Amino acid sequence: MFEEMDCSLVEVNPLVVTKQDDVIALDAKVTFDDNALRLHQELAAWRDFDEEEPLETLAGRYGVDYVKMDGGIGCLVNGAGLAMATMDIILKAGSHPANFLDIKGGASKENVVKAFTLLMSDANVKTVLINIFGGIVKCDMVAAGILEAMKEVKVDVPVVVRLSGTNAEEARKILDDADFNFITAETLVEAAQKAVAAEQGRAA
């Protein structure tokens, strides 16, 4: 199965041997490499979108990594490791993330717009925390994407922004000159604390 079907996981439980010495997989969990589904149209045809989280399905079409969670702080981050760290710091600050959202290292302005659309589509999001480390993706490009998203999507929750790295100063100026009242932070800890405070309706 791994070689012929491009599986990423095959978990058989239970596996039984009958009295006739037949080996039968009574139940199994099987996942496939999404990147290889174009080679297996018969598998792609089995996909049941009714069994999926709609926002996660939409994220797949947008080309960003997104997992919906139960908290109230929506996260927009570049890089899976930084996204995990951001969620951990939110927990330490006293709240819970609404999602895992990684716009990835080489994200475009369009990716940022789509990611922001996802955040605003979640009714549980009470505050947005944007945590960007500018490397491959430049902070000013992310800032431009945020402002572009706000032209297309109604944003009626506080937005906390922490920018660091390539063109961070230019990005801060873009946001400072904008009409929206962004809450800025220098460090991730400060950003998480301000996001939690904003979610709870108080000043950090």
* pLDDT at 8 exceeding the cut of 60: yes
- Which residue range(s) make up the domain with 21? 2-47
**85 and 149 together in one domain:** yes
CA angle 57, 63, 68 (to 5 degrees): 45
**159 and 174 together in one domain:** yes
Q: What is the pLDDT of residue 105?
A: 64
In order of 27, 80, 125, 131, 147, the CA distances from 84 in angstroms are: 32, 6, 18, 11, 25
Q: What is the mean pLDDT of the chain?
A: 89
**60 and 40 together in one domain:** no
In a domain, 70, yes or no: yes
Q: What is the DSSP letter of 86?
A: H
Asked if residue 148 lies in contact with residue 180, where contact means CB atoms within 8 angstroms, the answer is no
Q: What is the pLDDT of residue 12?
A: 93
Q: What is the pLDDT of residue 185?
A: 92
Q: What is the pLDDT of residue 202?
A: 57
Backbone phi and psi for residue 102, each to the nearest 5 degrees, phi listed first: -115, 115
Predicted confidence (pLDDT) per residue in 137-171, tens digit: 788 988 888 888 888 888 889 999 999 998 999 99
**91 and 43 together in one domain:** no
Number of domains in the chain: 2
Predicted confidence (pLDDT) per residue in 94-115, tens digit: 999 999 998 876 666 777 788 8
**101 and 20 together in one domain:** no
Q: What is the pLDDT of residue 86?
A: 97
Q: What is the pLDDT of residue 107?
A: 62
